[in-house]
Amino acid sequence: MQRMPAWADAFLVPLISLVIAFLISGIVVRAIGQDPVEAMRIMVQGGFGSAYAWGYTLYYATNFLFTGLAVSVAFHASQFNIGGEGQATLGGLGVALVLLYIPWPHWTIALVAAMIGAAAFGAFWAAIPAWLQARRGSHIVITTIMFNFIAGGLLNYLLVNWMKPAGSMDPSTARFGEAVRLPTFYDLPLVGQYFTKSTPANITFFIALLACFLVWLLLWRTRLGYEIRAFGKSEKAAIYAGISPFRIIMLAMLISGALAGLMAINGTMGGQKRLILNAVEGAGFIGIAVALMGRNHPFGVLLAAILFGFLYQGGAELSLAMNIPSQLVTVIQALVILFTGALDNMVRAPLERAFAAGRRGGAPQGQGGP
C-alpha cells in the first residue's frame, strides 16, 4: 500500500526539508548579528542572479552530478560507495597522464581520450574495494573510505616526486596545452553571448547531462540495470534468479567509479587546466548528499546537484559580500545536507501521518501494522 503519493515523496519532502534548513540557517546568521534576509538575498543573487553566477553554479553542479550519479548507481546495487572522493582523485590522475604526455592536436580527441583515462582510473580505484567486498566480504564502506586516504597520499607522492615541473614549489603539474583547452560556456554558440571569458562552466556540463540520461537508460532500460536493481532489492531473490552477486557488485562499482572519475574532466581538464592537490575538494562526499536528496534517480540527482552548486557558489559570494566567515557558509551547507539527507524521516513521518489522516477522512482503509 502506497503511504504517500509519489509526487509528495519526490518533491514535497525535500522541499520542506530545505525550507527548514534555511530557516535554521537564518537563525544562525541572526545569532552572529547579521541580517538573514539580506544574507539570503545575496546568496540567491550570487548563485542564480547573473550569467556569471550561473557560470559558477553549473560548474560546481557538474562535479556533483558525476559524483551523485556515481553514488546512485552503486546504491541501486545496495553498495554504499563513499569512495567517490578517491575515485575522482584517481580520475584526475588519469586525465593528467593522458593530457601531459601526449601532444593532442585538438581538444575533441583529447576530450575523448581524457574521458577514457578518467573513467578507467576511477573504475580501477573502485574495483579493488568491489572485489574485496564481492570475494572476501570486506565491507565496502570501510574499504572505500580507506581508499580515499590512499588516493590522497598517492597523488601527493606522485605530484611532489614525479609530476611537478622541475624547480616548482607548487605540488601540481604543469598546465595542459592550449590545444586541449575545453570550450567554456563563453565559447559556445547561442549561450556564449551571456557569459564572460572567465566562466568556469564548460562543455563538460553537457557531458554530465548525457551521463544522467545514460544512467537512467542503464538502470531502467537494460538487462544489467534490471539485474542491478533486483540484486539491490534482494540478494536472495537475485541468486534464485541466477544473477551472480559477484558480477553485479563488480559491474555496479566499476560504473560508479568511472562516473566519479569523470568528474575530473570538469575540474582538472576544464577548470584548473592542470592537476593540483585536492582538486576534488569534497565533491565526492557531497555526491552522497546529492544522491540521497535526489532519491537515487538521475533526474533527482540533477536537481539536487544544481541546488548544491548554488549552495557552493552562493555561499562563496556570501562570505565575500557580508561579514560572514566562510566556516559559517559551510554550516549552512551542512544544515542542508543534515535535513535533506540524515533527517529525512523527521519530515517524512509526520507528512505520511498527515496523508494517512487525509485518506481516513475520505474512505476508511484497513491499515496493517508498521
Partner 1 sequence: MALTGLAGRHSDAAPADVPPAIELRGISKAFGPVQANRNISIRVGKGTIHGIIGENGAGKSTLMSILYGFYRADAGEILINGRPTSIPNSQAAIRAGIGMVFQHFKLVHNFSVVENVILGAEDGALLRPSVDRARRLLAELARDYELDVDPDALIEDLSVGHQQRVEILKALYRHADILILDEPTGVLTPDEADHLFRILANLRDQGKTIILITHKLREIMEITENVSVMRRGEMVATVRTAETSPEQLAELMVGRKVLLHVPKGPASPGRTVLEIEDLRVRDDDGVERLKGISLQIRAGEILGIAGVAGNGQSELLEVLGGIARGTGSVKLNGVPLDLAGRNADGRSRRRAGIAHVPEDRQNLGLIMDFTAWENMAFGYQDDPAYQKNRWLMDNEALRKDAMGKIERFDVRPADCWLPAKSFSGGNQQKIVVAREIERNPDLLLVGQPTRGVDIGAIEFIHRRIVALRDAGKAVLLVSVELDEIMSLADRIAVMFDGRIMGERLPDQTDERELGLLMAGVEATAGKAA
Which residues are near partner 1 by CB under 8 A?
A: 1, 217, 221-223, 226-227, 229-230, 233-234, 236-237, 239-244, 368-369
* 11 versus 246: smaller Cβ distance to partner 1: 246
At 43, is the secondary structure helix, strand, or coil? Answer: helix
Least distance CB 214 / partner 1 (angstroms): 11
Distance CA 343, CA 349 (A): 10
Provide, rounded to whole angstroms, the least separation between the CB of residue 288 and partner 1. 22
Cβ 138 to partner 1, closest distance in Å?
19
Q: What nine digits make up the cell of 355? A: 496523508
Closest separation in Å from C-beta 237 to partner 1? 5
Residue 170 region by backbone torsions, left for phi larger than 0, else alpha for psi between -120 and 50, else beta: beta
Please name the amino acid found at residue 36.
P
CB closer to partner 1 out of 196 and 222: 222
The residues facing 184 across adjacent strands are 202
Closest CB 341 distance from partner 1, rounded Å:
21
- Which residues have C-beta within 8 Å of that of residue 287, sequence separation ≥ 6? 64, 66, 67, 68, 69, 70, 71, 84, 260
- By beta-carbon proximity to partner 1, the closer residue of 219 and 301 is 219
Beta carbon nearer to partner 1, 2 or 161: 2
What 3-state DSSP class applies to 241?
coil
Q: Considering beta carbons, is residue 168 or 367 the nearer one to partner 1?
A: 367
CB nearer to partner 1: pick between 11 and 240:
240
Q: Which is nearer to partner 1, 212 or 335 (CB)?
A: 212
> Which is nearer to partner 1, 233 or 353 (by Cβ)?
233
CB of 80 to partner 1, least distance (A): 18
Residues in CB range of 310: below 8 A, 6 or more apart: 43, 47, 48, 57, 61
Q: Measuring CA to CA, how many Å separate 224 from each of 67, 69, 101, 201, 244?
A: 21, 16, 36, 33, 11
In whole angstroms, the minimum distance from the beta carbon of 232 to partner 1 comes to 9
Q: State the nearest-atom distance from the C-beta of 231 to partner 1, in Å.
A: 9
For 300-335, b/e burial (b = at least 16 CB within 10 A) is bbbbbbbbbbbbbbbbbbbbeebebeeebbebbbeb
Residues whose CB falls within 8 Å of the CB of residue 351, separated by 6 or more in sequence, listed in order: 4, 8, 12, 13, 16
Q: Which three cell numbers stand for residue 366?
A: 484497513
Q: How many CA atoms lie within 13 A of 357 on its CB side?
A: 6
